Amino acid sequence: MAKALALAEKAYALGEFPVGAVIADDEGAIIGEGYNLREANASPLGHAEITAIEKAAGLLKNRRLDLCTIYVTLEPCLMCAGAIMQARLKRLVYGAYAPKTGAVTSVVGVYDFPFGYKPMVRGGVLETDCSALLSKFGEDLRSDIRENPLEETNGQV
């Protein structure tokens, strides 16, 4: 999780929503990693989990990551929870809970539905550290809006 948090800090430094993800194989070797790049890539699919899954699957040349664990700094959204399911990841470990978008426990428990597959899940790992970075990003964003109120609306009132 510490590596995922370091990746989230990279996203933060780029002005991206600070989420990082790491995939480790059954021996603990990192085989995929990513951080949010939605703004940089102008892509709604630029989530940390999606990038990490694509890299791991590419390295293994296999769409099934059934012996792997994904560590992510924020509870996955519905899209990422679905991607985790499609990749057949064995375990999901996440840090902060996402009370507005979390699809694992916060808003909806997507793995509670009878899809035929669900990973083992553990939330709240390094939650304080993960939450602190997200809170700092939010404070920075609110501060920027207060300092430059017309930029958010392109000068329109």
The residue annotated as part of the active site, out of 49, 54, 139, 151, is 49
Check if the beta carbon of residue 56 is closer than 8 Å to that of residue 72: no
Query: Rg for the chain (alpha carbons), in Å?
Result: 16
Q: Is residue 49 annotated as a catalytic residue, yes or no? A: yes
pLDDT of amino acid 146: 56
Q: How confident is the model at residue 157 (pLDDT cuts 50, 70, 90)?
A: very low
pLDDT in tens, 3-35: 999 999 999 999 999 999 999 999 999 999 999
CA–CA separation, 136 vs 141, rounded Å? 9
pLDDT in tens, 48-89: 999 999 999 999 999 999 999 999 999 999 999 999 999 999
Please, which residues have CB within 8 angstroms of residue 92's CB and are 6 or more apart in sequence? 69, 70, 72, 76, 84, 104, 119, 120, 121, 122
Q: What average pLDDT does this structure show over 94-120?
A: 96
Output the CA torsion sign for 119, 36, 137, 24: positive
pLDDT of amino acid 151: 56
Q: Is the pLDDT score of 156 beyond 90?
A: no
